[in-house]
């Protein structure tokens, strides 16, 4: 199955580590949104979108990339993020991003969230939170997610 992961990772490379781990299982190319032309996505059967979280939202570079895609996408997709804290119920940023991806025509089949080392102010003053994440257990969970995702997408065909 031809797969690609479009990933925006900034601070500590947390999201990139998770993207590369998922990409190994899916045999997927991992790219930054600035390094791919939107029309290239039509070549892929499964497209992943991943981001770190800043100000309770996915990075603007990934959101803008998805907003710029034509609305006639036909691939299956998945969405993932890393963050120092879980998504709060009063700001459903992941759900909002999933709707954005679906609005472009993708069939979002699953989502994945992983803790990541976070030193955004004021957390930097206390040394950050989730130091050491994603750790080996987190990456094992990402691998398991990718295997289940692959099996589900292949079984659907």
Q: To which residue do tokens 């890393």 refer?
A: 82
- pLDDT at residue 6 in the model: 98
CA–CA gap between residue 28 and residue 2 (Å, rounded): 7
Per-residue pLDDT of the chain (157 residues; tens, 9 = 90+): 899 999 998 876 789 999 999 999 999 999 999 999 999 999 999 999 999 888 888 999 999 999 999 999 999 999 999 976 666 788 888 999 999 999 999 999 999 999 775 656 665 545 554 565 588 899 999 999 999 999 999 998 7
- pLDDT at residue 86 in the model: 66
Domains defined along the chain, listed by start: 3-155 (3.40.50.360)
CA–CA gap between residue 51 and residue 87 (Å, rounded): 13
- pLDDT at residue 102 in the model: 98
Neighbour count for residue 149 (Cβ, 10 Å): 21
**Are 115 and 84 within 8 A, CB to CB?**
yes
């Amino acid at each position: 199955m031809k797969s690609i992961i479009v990933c925006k990772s900034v601070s500590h490379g947390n999201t990139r580590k998770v993207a590369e781990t998922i990409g190994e299982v899916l045999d997927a190319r991992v790219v930054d949104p600035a390094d791919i032309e939107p029309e290239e996505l039509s070549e892929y059967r499964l497209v992943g979108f991943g981001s770190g979280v800043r100000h309770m939202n996915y990075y603007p570079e990934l959101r803008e990339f998805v907003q710029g895609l034509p609305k006639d996408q036909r691939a299956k997709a998945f969405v993932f993020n890393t963050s120092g804290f879980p998504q709060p119920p009063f700001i459903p940023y992941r759900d909002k991003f999933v709707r954005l991806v679906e609005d472009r025509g993708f069939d979002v089949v699953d989502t994945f969230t992983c803790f990541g080392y976070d030193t955004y102010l004021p957390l930097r003053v206390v040394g950050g939170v989730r130091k050491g994440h994603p750790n080996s257990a987190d990456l094992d969970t990402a691998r398991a997610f990718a295997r289940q995702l692959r099996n589900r997408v292949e079984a659907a065909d």
